[in-house]
Amino acid sequence: MILNTESHSLLIDRALSGDQAAFNTLLNNHWQEVYFFLLKRTSNELDAEDIAIQTFSRAFEKLSSYDSAFQFNTWLISISKNLHIDLIRARNRSRSEERLNADTELVLDESPNHEDRLILEQSQHQLLEYIHKLNPRYQKLIELFYFESNSIREISTLLEESENNIKVSLLRARRSLAEILRNNP
Please give the pLDDT value at position 103: 45
Please give the pLDDT value at position 180: 78
CA distances from 92 to 46, 53, 97 (A): 18, 21, 9
The fraction of the chain above a pLDDT of 90, given in percent, is 2
Work out the mean pLDDT of the chain and round it to a whole number. Answer: 78
Instruction: Tell which residue, 104, 60, 59, 99, has the closest CA to residue 83.
Output: 59
* Chain centroid, CA 163 distance in Å: 12
Q: Which CATH architecture has domain 1-105?
A: Orthogonal Bundle (1.10)
| Residues 86-132: tens digit of each pLDDT | 888 887 777 666 655 554 444 434 454 444 444 444 445 677 777 88
For residue 160, is pLDDT > 60?
Answer: yes
Confidence of residue 147 (pLDDT cuts 50, 70, 90): confident
CA distances from 107 to 80, 94, 110, 111, 117 (A): 34, 17, 9, 12, 22
Confidence of residue 42 (pLDDT cuts 50, 70, 90): confident
Residue spans per domain, the chain: 1-105, 113-185
**Four-CA torsion 91, 92, 96, 99, nearest 10 degrees:** 60
Q: Which CATH architecture has domain 113-185?
A: Orthogonal Bundle (1.10)
| Residues 65-90: tens digit of each pLDDT | 888 778 888 888 888 998 888 888 88
For residue 149, is pLDDT > 60?
Answer: yes
Please give the pLDDT value at position 111: 52
